[in-house]
A and B are shown apart, each in its own frame.
Chain A
Amino acid sequence: MSSYDSSDESQHEKMDRREFIKRTAIGAGSMALSVSLVGCMAGKGMNGNAATNAVNETLPLKYKDYNLVFVSFDALQAAHVGSLGYSRNVTPTIDAIAKDGFNFTNAISTASWTVPASMTWFTGVYPSEHRLTNKFAVFNPPSNNILSNLKKLSPNLVTLAEILKQNGYATGGFTGNAGVNGFFGYDQGFDTYFYEKGKFGSMGVSIPKALDWLKENKNKKFFMFLHGYDIHGQGIPEGGFDYRFVEPGYDKRYTGSKEEQEALREEGLEKGRTTLRDEDVRFWRAIYDEKIQRTDAKFKKFLDELEKMGLMDRTIFVLTSDHGTEFHEHKRFDHGFSLYDELIHVPLIIKLPKRTDGKIIRDQVSSIDVMPTILDLLDVNVQEKTRKQLRGTSLSPAFKGQSAAKDVFSETDYRLYTFKRSIQTREGWKFIYTMESKTGELYNLKSDPGETKNLVDVERKIAYELEHKLFAHFKSIGHDLNARRWETGLNPVYDSQAKPAQKK
């Protein structure tokens, strides 16, 4: 422990190094480019600080009656975002907003897949508490299947949309269905909630729907949730790929289809690893980049429309993702089944209206903090009971230059295939515990950002104390992890998986 100095300065210095390692490890870009990017970012942070802090501290940071646009780019891995250090220019629109807004470079999601992770934004509680941890609350084929639903699982929880609606907001959700479909209760509190049944829908569809709604509601104060699966493995661009980033000479073992994506994920689950060559991994990242770039462009058009409607100066933007995705970093593919950095480290950008004095915030924060931050910024009435519901804390001190760094917790019960819980400390330790096998993993994120060296049998005291903290955390939120048995099973997430199970 003594090797970790917890003073702010050294932490920033070391975080830069961690990010640097991460960027070079991702490795599509050249070393030189990565270095210069780090230089840029550090420069911005440092030069900007003194001047902007003074302004920030005098501002009240209250935006009563402003609009809120909350955007989830589903499955956007932090490492592929330019404003988080990615070298390939695939997110110019997002990066521009990040430059003017508050760019949280160490935001960790509470879960590694859509259903549990997204509901945390809207309830301010951990997945264990909102209980939307799998598609089916009861999966009992062929006929006794009960879809998970927030109102049924956790009737007392109040959603962000409900609070804003009570405070006079028009509320509209425009989504890609699947993990955030209305049946799960994602529509709770929304006047309008769009999702195309049976689809992993695109922003190509949800954006026009959102804009139509805006035309009707732009004169009211509004809360919009915009979401799409364009970047996700199940999202395919309209008209197909143009393979713009695929290296010439790739032997086309894969084409980038969603069926291939699903097969790779299932292979990883079944065998513990996927068999991908380095060129295949580069191919899949190239495909991913094409999707990201196309999505970023769609998002730019959306912003242009808002600009035309004159809404930009009255609207707070929150841009984020529910989880990342894995490209063989830990020898598997897709997401949900682990809690490694590639799955839970997400972009989080908060852009405040009429301000371009944003900054990079390196403090480690959690998606659990998003809802309290929004409520704080919008300065709405929140009942005491609802306030007590919130497990996170407002990040607005970070806007004023104060520390918001905290230990963060994540979890996944992905399809009952596995049950994992993790804690990631401010100092850069990460401990992952797998409930069904009662095994722990410990990583030093500063020296090993890729989480490749499990130190659980080396740093035993640290592992022991983090295990203690992890269990104490879940106990404190009413989930004694020792109070039940963790039996793995099969809980489908896609229809294609449910059908064979139902036949049995």
Chain B
Amino acid sequence: MFRHFTNNSSIVITTLFLGVLGLLSGTGLCSPLESAKPTPRHESTNVILISLQCLRADHLGVYGYKRNISDNIDALAKQSAVFDDAISQANLTPVAQMSVLTSKYPRVNGMVSFEVAKDMVTSRTLPEILKYYGYTTAATISSPEFFMRFDTESGALINPGDVFSRSFDYYGRTARGPQGTSIRVAPTDAFQWLKGNKDKKFFLWIGSGLLHMPYSAEVPQPYQTMFDAPGYVPFWKRLPGLDEDVSWGDNPEYDIFSRVYRNDFYWGFKPIYHLNEDDLKYVNGRYDAGVYYTDLYVGELLKLLDDLELKEKTLIVLQSMHGDDLGEHGIFFHYDVTEPVIKNALIMRFPNGEFGGRRVSEQVQGLDVMPTILNYLDIPVPHDAQGKSVIPLVRGDKDATGSEYVFIDRMPWWEYTLSKWYLELQNASGAKFSPVESAKLKEYRDLLQTSFDKLGYPPGDIAVRTGEWKLILRMNRDILEKVSWWRFITGTLQPVEELELYDLKNDPGEYINVAHKHPNIVAQLKSKLLDWNSRVEGQKAVYKKSDKRYIIPYP
């Protein structure tokens, strides 16, 4: 029923074993629920899922990065199966990660925005299924997306038990770090939890938000500034007059970089500064310092597993929830479905060195993580899972395939969060706007609020990716142009293409839209994409009307 994969010699032994059992029992009528298989893996294997927010695969040594910042992850990768083409289902953190935990597309599991109600997602989650099989489940999280909610009526910050904490016996949320500006710290409470629970059969989900903008805000010295160029002064400190409008405070990068479009920094609807090489180096350096510090954290974790003698009975899956744009396209954050945002690190270390050193070049996706873990543990994969186990690929089965087409939902970020929260309350608590912008804020907020429907699912931007091509379809191009954050900060309409086709082999940076050059490919991919879209619409989650919703605050 469930494929129990193992090396060849144990297959032989297994077959012999089953044969003897069959003879002994005569009829061979074992109970299907307790058949005479070898001990299923879920009886003694722990699972640690390390999910790193904003981790770009191409900033790790194992994926070819030149700056040496990931010794520990690279060493882990050597003992692991490494996926070279792992794609996330969405650009937004909670949306992409819920697809990982449920193996369902965002619209199917219901997690489509930053607005979350307690019982919004009813799909089975990975920890829920593992609990059926006797796992102790724990999460230690430093991404506010997974536990922080903002009451849009009262303005209060609340921590409701909700869709992500469901089925966790322990759900650890980090507090603000030593620098005091962010909760996006290394989730070291995982170490304490492991020490206290090492004798249990466990599933531990470690979610780190440390890599999120503002980069390295909570990375201690000497690491925070380790890659800063000597003498470099951030551009916003050099711009005359800027500080007269508002006081930027210690860590303004979130506000600063959200105003960069095509590497122009906008203030008062005007491009007042163009980012140069040094500025980009600085941002990348701060980002890399975060990776370096995260890598140290992973190293600590691995060492602890060795010390606790858990290594050989623990499956480790390390994944990016999604990546981040670092200015290649003149923008930052995870605003769109660009390659830096959706192409993930995915590394799986199996117990006893099994599959160590395997590289998988086929395209796989976030949806595959849960089926893979369950498959490895000899637990049935949910019948409605939309991903598939990649174990056959890892094992090198002859007929194993990846996902030829990966489908991606783009969720507007600023446009959405701004309409619900940022413009009203974050502004009151100190979001930065110039006087001319402030005058337009109400108008902009009203525009946003009338443009998105009540459930918050935005007019769809969808994409399909193969190993060679990516097609992005903006189904409601004109609405996007109208509500666009870029339009607001630049003060002028920024055209949005309805169709973008990128040749990922020859143009991995996605600089040239070749939709006009390849009408046949566009037609083929578009029809796949629309088929998928209508299929997903047909399976869309239905919400209970009474659910009170809370929004995830930023930053």
A interface residues, Cβ below 8 angstroms from B: 1-2, 4, 6, 8, 402-403, 405, 407, 425-427, 429, 438, 460-462, 464-465, 467-469, 471-472, 475, 481-482, 485
Contact = CB atoms under 8 A, between A and B. Distances in A.
Interface string B110-138: 00000000000010000001011100000
Contacts of B382: 468
B31 A6 contact: yes
B29 A467 contact: no
Given A460-B132, A485-B538, A465 B380 contact: yes
Given A1-B34, A467-B383, 20 more contacts: A1-B31, A6-B29, A402-B27, A403-B29, A407-B32, A425-B31, A426-B31, A427-B33, A429-B33, A438-B122, A461-B132, A461-B133, A462-B33, A464-B380, A465-B380, A468-B380, A468-B382, A468-B383, A469-B32, A475-B383
A407 B35 CA distance: 14
Contacts of B29: 6, 403, 405, 426
Closest A-B pairs by Cβ, 9 of them: A471-B383, A461-B132, A468-B380, A460-B132, A6-B31, A1-B34, A482-B384, A464-B132, A1-B33
Contacts of A6: 29-31
Contacts of A471: 383-384
Contacts of A462: 33
Contacts of B131: 460
Interface in B1-50: 27, 29-34
B499 to A, nearest CB: 29
Contact of A403 (B27, B31, B539): B27
A468 B371 CA distance: 13
A125 to B, nearest CB: 21
Nearest to B42: A461
Nearest to A6: B31
Given A460-B132, A461-B133, A464-B129, A425 B32 contact: yes
Given A403-B27, A464-B132, A472 B33 contact: no
Interface string B49-75: 000000000000000000000000000
Contacts of B383: 467-468, 471-472, 475, 481-482
A2 B34 CA distance: 8
Contacts of B30: 6
A347 B27 CA distance: 26
Nearest to A460: B132
Given A403-B27, A461-B133, A471-B383, A425 B538 contact: no
A215 B122 CA distance: 63
Central interface residue in B132, B383, B538, by most chain A CB within 10 Å: B383
Nearest to B129: A464
Contacts of A464: 129, 132, 380
Interface string B381-398: 011100000000000000
Contacts of B27: 8, 402-403
A427 B129 contact: no
A419 B292 CA distance: 55
Nearest to B31: A6
A36 B49 CA distance: 60
18 contacts: A1-B31, A1-B33, A1-B34, A4-B31, A6-B30, A402-B27, A405-B29, A425-B32, A426-B29, A438-B122, A462-B33, A464-B132, A464-B380, A465-B380, A467-B383, A472-B383, A485-B538, A485-B539
Interface centre among B30, B131, B132 (most CB of A within 10 A): B132
A467 B384 CA distance: 11
A232 B133 CA distance: 45
Contacts of A482: 383-384, 539
Nearest to A466: B33
A425 B30 CA distance: 12
Contacts of B32: 407, 425, 469
A426 B32 CA distance: 9
A460 B133 CA distance: 9
B31 A427 contact: yes
Nearest to B542: A438
Contacts of B34: 1-2
Residue of B32, B382, B539 most packed against chain A (CB within 10 A): B32
B367 to A, nearest CB: 14
Contacts of B33: 1, 425, 427, 429, 462, 465
A407 B31 CA distance: 10
A464 B29 CA distance: 22
Interface in B375-420: 380, 382-384
Nearest to A461: B132
Nearest to A481: B383
B493 to A, nearest CB: 39
Contacts of A485: 538-539
B285 to A, nearest CB: 48
Contacts of A472: 383
A277 B231 CA distance: 90
B257 to A, nearest CB: 42
A443 B13 CA distance: 37
Contacts of B122: 438
A34 B382 CA distance: 44
A432 to B, nearest CB: 16
Nearest to A471: B383
Contacts of B538: 485
Nearest to A8: B27
A2 B131 CA distance: 19
Nearest to A429: B33
Nearest to A11: B29
A461 B374 CA distance: 13
Contacts of A4: 31
A467 B380 CA distance: 10
Interface string B86-98: 0000000000000
Nearest to A7: B25
Interface string B447-472: 00000000000000000000000000
B408 to A, nearest CB: 21
A310 B152 CA distance: 86
A442 to B, nearest CB: 12
Q: Which of A403, A405, A462, A464 has the most CB of B within 10 A?
A: A464
A31 to B, nearest CB: 33
A44 B281 CA distance: 90
A495 to B, nearest CB: 34
Contacts of A438: 122
A439 to B, nearest CB: 10
B25 to A, nearest CB: 9
A4 B132 CA distance: 19
Contacts of A405: 29
A425 B380 CA distance: 17
A461 B131 CA distance: 9
B168 to A, nearest CB: 16
A481 B539 CA distance: 12
B515 to A, nearest CB: 32
A11 to B, nearest CB: 10
A332 to B, nearest CB: 26
